[in-house]
A and B are shown apart, each in its own frame.
Chain A
C-alpha cells in the first residue's frame, strides 16, 4: 500500500503574493479597523440616548389627577387616557412602549405599606402570574418618603408579559399617590429614566 507523503505542507506564514514585493510591509492586524468598529457600535448603541436627552424637555402642561398630584409629561409622552380604578381617579401617560399610571387615593389610607398592599390587590386582578419584589424605601425630590417595589406579570386580557415598578407615597395629610411605571417585559430599563424623572418632578398636594 502506498503511504501519503508525510503530513500536509507545514507552512506557518502565507506565501508571498505575486503583486507584493519581497520587502513589503507586514500585514496589518486590523487595529484601526477594530477601533472604527468599536466607534460605530458606541454610536449606534448610545447615540439614541444622547439625541433623546438633547430633545428631552417637559412638554405641554402639567397633567392633574383629582387636584392631588400633577405630572408633567416629558417630550414623547402623552396622556393616553383618564379613568378610575376601584373608584380612584387615575391618568395614564404613555410613550408607546413605556407607560406611567398615576392613581390618586384621597382620604386616609393608612401608611405606604397598607396602600401598597391595596394597590397590589388591584394589580393581581388584572395580571396573571404576578410576581413581586421586596419593597424598599425611597425619598422623592420633594422630600416625600414612600416605598417602591417591582413586579412582573402577564396582562390577562392580551397575554402581554410586562414588568413594572410601583412607587407609593402618602402625604402628611393622609392622601396617597401611586405611580405605576410599566413596559413590556425586558423593556422597562429603557424607560425607567423617563418614568423616574416624571415621578421626581411630580407635584403632590400638601407637600
Chain B
C-alpha cells in the first residue's frame, strides 16, 4: 500500500520568501538592531512599573493577554485566502510592542518639548497628545510594516496583507501602552488596573491602534502590490490618504474635541458614559476601517476568480472547486463535511488542496502560461486531489468536485 499523505507542514508558494530571518536583507539587520536596543529600554521601563506594584503589573499583563490573543487570531484569519507567515506576523507584533512603543516614547517627548516651547505649558497640557502622538506613532508603527515589506518583499500581495501586518503591529503597541497606562495613570494597584482595563480595553478596545495601523498597513499593501498596475502617483496618493485618515482618527481620539468623558472619580451612572464617550470618538473610524476591510476582501475574492478562471478545467482546479474556494464559509463547510465522511486525514488533505489552489492563483497571476512553476503547481494540485480520492469515503464528494 503506497502512502497517500505527503509530508506534513505548510508549503509556501515558490514566489514567496515567507520568513522573518533574511540575513541578506539590510532591512532585517536594521530590524534586529533596533529591536535589541529598544528591548533593553523596554525591559528597564517594565522593571520600573513592576516596582510600583508587582501584583498590579502582573494583573495588567494577564488581562491584556486575554484581550490580545483573540484579537490577534481575528486579525490573522481576516486574510481570506493566503494566511501570512507566522514569523513575519509575529515580527510585526513585536515591532509594535517593543520598538514602536519605545521609540515613540522618546519621540513624543521630544516633539512635546517643541509644543511646550511654542505654545506654552497650558496649551501643551491640552494639545500635546493630539499634536505629537498621531504623527509620531503612526509613522513609527508604519515603518515597522515597511521593514517587514523590505525583509520579505514578495509577501505583501494585497491590501489585506498590509492590513494584517499593520493591525498586529498596532495590537502589540496597544498592549504595551495599556500596561503603561494601567500602572502609570490608573495607579497600578489591582483595583486601578481593573478600572484602567474597563476604560482602555472594554470601552475603547475597538477603536485603538489596531485600526490606525491597520489603515496605514492597507496603504502600504496597496503601494507595494500594485506596482505593475497603478502609477507611482496614484499609489503614493492612496498610501498618503489612508495614513492621513489614520493620523486624523488618532488626532481626534487624543484631542480635547468632543470630550464626553466624565470627570474622575467616576460614580454610578458615570461609568456608563465611558463607552458612549469612546464611541463618539472612535466609532466613525471603526466604520470606515470596517468598510475598507469589506471592500478589500471583495477585491481579493474577485482577484481569486480572475486568477483561476483560466485554470478551470485544467488539472489544477475544477469549476465546482472554484465556487467553493471563493467562499471561506463554504471552504470550511466542505472540510467539515469531508471530516465527517472520510475522517481527519481526508479533511486535512482537502484543506491542503484548497491552500495549494490559492497558491496556484498566486503563481497564475505572476507568470506566463508555460512557466514551469505554473505547470508544477497544477500537477501538484492534481496529485493532491488524486490522493484525496484514494481515501475511502472521500471519493464521492471529490468526484463531484470535478
- Mark out the residues of chain B between 96 and 154 whose CB falls within 8 Å of any chain A CB in the assembled complex: 103, 105-114, 116-118, 120-122, 124-125, 128, 132, 136, 139-140, 143, 146-147, 150, 153-154
Main secondary structure, interface of B, reads: helix
Contacts of A95 in B (CB 8 A): 113, 116, 121, 124
The answer on a CB contact under 8 Å between A44 and B383 is: no
Q: A1-13 vs B: 1/0 string, CB under 8 Å?
A: 1111101110100
Question: A137 in the interface, Cβ–Cβ < 8 Å?
Answer: no
The answer on a CB contact under 8 Å between A30 and B5 is: no
Residue count of chain A within 8 Å CB distance of chain B: 62
**A9 and B54 alpha carbons, distance in the complex (Å):** 53
Contacts of A187 in B (CB 8 A): 105, 109
The answer on a CB contact under 8 Å between B106 and A190 is: yes
The answer on a CB contact under 8 Å between A30 and B25 is: yes
CB distance from B312 to the nearest CB of A (A): 21
Question: B53 in the interface, Cβ–Cβ < 8 Å?
Answer: yes
Given the contacts A1-B391, A38-B30, A161-B187, A48 and B113 also touching, CB distance less than 8 Å: yes
The answer on a CB contact under 8 Å between B389 and A2 is: yes
Question: B366 in the interface, Cβ–Cβ < 8 Å?
Answer: yes
Contacts of B373 in A (CB 8 A): 9, 11, 15
Partner-binding segment picked from B66-74, B208-216, B235-243, B374-382: B374-382
Contacts of A45 in B (CB 8 A): 103, 106-107, 110, 140
The answer on a CB contact under 8 Å between B109 and A191 is: yes
**A5 and B118 alpha carbons, distance in the complex (Å):** 70
**A27 and B153 alpha carbons, distance in the complex (Å):** 10
Pick the contact of A152 from B48, B186, B368 — CB < 8 Å? B48
Question: B52 in the interface, Cβ–Cβ < 8 Å?
Answer: yes
The answer on a CB contact under 8 Å between A41 and B128 is: no
The answer on a CB contact under 8 Å between A159 and B120 is: no
Q: A102-134 vs B: 1/0 string, CB under 8 Å?
A: 000000000000000000000000000101000
Question: B234 in the interface, Cβ–Cβ < 8 Å?
Answer: no
**A30 and B377 alpha carbons, distance in the complex (Å):** 29
Question: A78 in the interface, Cβ–Cβ < 8 Å?
Answer: yes
Partner-binding segment picked from B7-15, B160-168, B252-260, B331-339: B7-15
The answer on a CB contact under 8 Å between A51 and B114 is: yes
Question: B270 in the interface, Cβ–Cβ < 8 Å?
Answer: no
The answer on a CB contact under 8 Å between B184 and A96 is: no
Pick the contact of A163 from B48, B114, B120 — CB < 8 Å? B48
Given the contacts A29-B24, A131-B51, A190-B106, A76 and B391 also touching, CB distance less than 8 Å: no
Pick the contact of A19 from B15, B143, B184, B228 — CB < 8 Å? B228
The answer on a CB contact under 8 Å between B26 and A34 is: yes
Question: B2 in the interface, Cβ–Cβ < 8 Å?
Answer: yes
Q: Which of B132, B136, B188, B371 has the most CB of A within 10 A?
A: B188
The answer on a CB contact under 8 Å between B114 and A185 is: no
Pick the contact of B6 from A7, A76, A153 — CB < 8 Å? A7
Contacts of A160 in B (CB 8 A): 184-185, 187
Residue count of chain B within 8 Å CB distance of chain A: 84
Contacts of B387 in A (CB 8 A): 1-4
The answer on a CB contact under 8 Å between A80 and B121 is: yes
Given the contacts A15-B372, A15-B373, A2 and B25 also touching, CB distance less than 8 Å: no
Q: B168-191 vs A: 1/0 string, CB under 8 Å?
A: 000000000000100111111100
The answer on a CB contact under 8 Å between B184 and A49 is: no
Contacts of B389 in A (CB 8 A): 2
CB distance from A140 to the nearest CB of B (A): 23
**A107 and B198 alpha carbons, distance in the complex (Å):** 50
Contacts of B391 in A (CB 8 A): 1
Given the contacts A40-B139, A48-B113, A186 and B45 also touching, CB distance less than 8 Å: yes
Question: B267 in the interface, Cβ–Cβ < 8 Å?
Answer: no
Closest chain A residue to B186 by CB distance? A159
Contacts of B295 in A (CB 8 A): none
**A17 and B130 alpha carbons, distance in the complex (Å):** 46
**A37 and B301 alpha carbons, distance in the complex (Å):** 33
Q: B198-227 vs A: 1/0 string, CB under 8 Å?
A: 000000000000000000000000000000
Contacts of A41 in B (CB 8 A): 34, 103, 140, 143
Question: B399 in the interface, Cβ–Cβ < 8 Å?
Answer: no
Question: B27 in the interface, Cβ–Cβ < 8 Å?
Answer: yes
- Mark out the residues of chain B between 232 and 275 whose CB falls within 8 Å of any chain A CB in the assembled complex: 264
Question: B292 in the interface, Cβ–Cβ < 8 Å?
Answer: no
Supply 20 further A-B pairs (C-beta < 8 A) apart from A152-B51, A161-B183: A2-B2, A2-B4, A4-B5, A4-B6, A5-B383, A7-B6, A9-B380, A11-B373, A15-B374, A18-B367, A35-B26, A40-B139, A52-B117, A95-B113, A96-B112, A97-B112, A160-B187, A161-B187, A186-B48, A186-B105
Residues of B within 8 A of A (CB): 1-7, 11, 14-15, 24-27, 30, 34, 45, 48-49, 51-53, 103, 105-114, 116-118, 120-122, 124-125, 128, 132, 136, 139-140, 143, 146-147, 150, 153-154, 180, 183-189, 192, 228, 264, 356, 363, 366-368, 371-374, 376-377, 379-380, 382-384, 386-387, 389-391
Please list 14 pairs of residues, one from A and one from B, whose beta carbons are closer than 8 Å in the complex, sorted by A's number: A4-B380, A7-B7, A14-B15, A15-B366, A18-B368, A19-B228, A31-B26, A34-B26, A40-B139, A45-B110, A95-B116, A131-B52, A185-B49, A187-B105
Closest 7 CB pairs of A and B: A48-B110, A190-B109, A76-B116, A159-B187, A9-B376, A52-B113, A48-B111
